[in-house]
Amino acid sequence: MNHRERFLATMSYQPRDRSPLYDFGLWDETPGAWRPQGLPDGIDRSNAARFFGLDAGLGGGEPEGWSGVAGVSLCPGFPTAILDDDGDEYTQRQSDGVIVRKQRSSVSIPMHIGHTLVDRESWAEHYLPRLNPDTAARYPSDDDPQWSRWRNPHRDTPLFAHGGSLFGRLRDWMGLENISMVVYDDPGWFESMVSTKADLIVTVLKRMFDRGVHIDAIGMWEDMCYNAGPLLSPAHFKRFLVPHYRRIAELARAHGCNIIWVDCDGCIDALIPLWLDAGINCMFPIEVGTWSADPITMRKRYGRDLLLMGGFDKRILARDPQAIDHEILRLAPLVEEGGFIPMPDHRVPPDVPLANYIHYTQSARKIWGGGVNLESAPVESIIRARQVTPNPIQRTHP
């Protein structure tokens, strides 16, 4: 089977030769931390998944499966600018209009200290024009060679389209406190903003379908939960968001796209039934955290209606090979059932030893991949070669 056939068979519980082998990518700092341990120069987030013998990376790594056509973000973005610089700390306006305080020596999430979106007037002046689906820059030119690949129903790799966000980006643009107040103080405006975002997503996706593009899955992003539950009440979620999720899902299924996932941090338990009711049928990542999310528990609770991607606790990668193998074996029956593609959630951090990660990929190929030969050089070769040359190994397979 090719990559696309394997992905579609897995997510529809059909027979396949093996599970897809994906990763969610690496933290920006991880390749640098692995260099002294033997990672060659030139291997970074853009090519790590294939280097380590996996089919693809889905989280900021290899973008080959992502359609560059689905421009559903602000267009154009705001001009970025450094507004104040105190050496290690500086204040910056981001491309989404948010003013943040950052530290050059820290990789933590920057602190929001100001927002361009504060009221109806700033929405109409600064954001509404940037959410126009007719903006030409959202779409490639008619002679772009990518169109032929996107239209090809027999291509080897799956095609994933960006499905945008109904709440998460609004939360970013306004800040959590402000957006939470708007839901109660001006629900009409909140509904209008959500509707505008949905109109953009639906229009852009429809134009892709009308151009003959064969989309295999749509990925949405929300990040609207924390460790105790959702940031928007289930009642407001059902009132304001579910109708628009349903519009997106119905459009996708009318054109043969039956997989729609949402990426949402935190404890999502209260929202999963509402997403399923709206036609959003896949969670990626599972977001294993202090709230004990677990793909096996989710499958028992929701059955085969809920598709899953992720769910391997990345904290285990920093322990030892025995702990890694135990978790791979624990998830193996769910992998065999289908409707589930395992991978470490939310990128591999730099505290994971390179040897552990190589062990993980080799064990995953053996147990989840049926021994598939996508082998990269074993860690022993890296260590030996590191003693000879600063660029110790090359990939042994294309």
- Would the CA dihedral through 119, 265, 306, 220 be positive or negative? positive
Per-residue pLDDT in tens (0 to 9) along the chain, 398 residues = 999 999 999 999 999 999 999 999 899 899 999 999 999 888 888 888 888 989 888 865 444 455 555 589 999 999 999 999 988 899 999 999 999 999 887 767 789 999 999 999 999 999 999 999 999 999 888 888 888 888 998 999 899 999 999 999 999 999 999 999 999 999 999 999 999 999 999 999 999 999 999 999 999 999 999 999 999 999 999 999 999 999 999 999 999 999 999 999 899 999 999 999 999 999 999 978 778 899 999 999 999 999 999 999 999 999 999 999 999 999 999 999 999 999 998 889 999 999 999 999 999 999 999 988 775 555 455 445 444 433 333 333 32
pTM of the model: 0.90
Q: Where are the domains of the chain?
A: 9-58+308-398, 66-73+117-283, 79-115
Q: Which pair of structure tokens corresponds to residue 368?
A: 């989840």
Q: Indicate the Cα dihedral angle 339, 20, 362, 304, nearest 10°.
A: 0
- Say if residues 11 and 307 touch (Cβ distance below 8 Å): yes
Helix (H) or strand (E) holding 341: strand 340-341
Greatest CA span in the chain, whole angstroms? 67
Q: How many CB atoms lie within 10 A of CB 16?
A: 18
Q: What is the residue-wise DSSP string for 352-374?
A: S-HHHHHHHHHHHHHHTSTT-S-
Q: What angle do CA 158, 59, 162 make, to 5 degrees?
A: 55
Q: How many CB atoms lie within 10 A of CB 69?
A: 22
Report the C-alpha gap between 374 and 394 in whole angstroms.
14
Strand partners, 112: 100
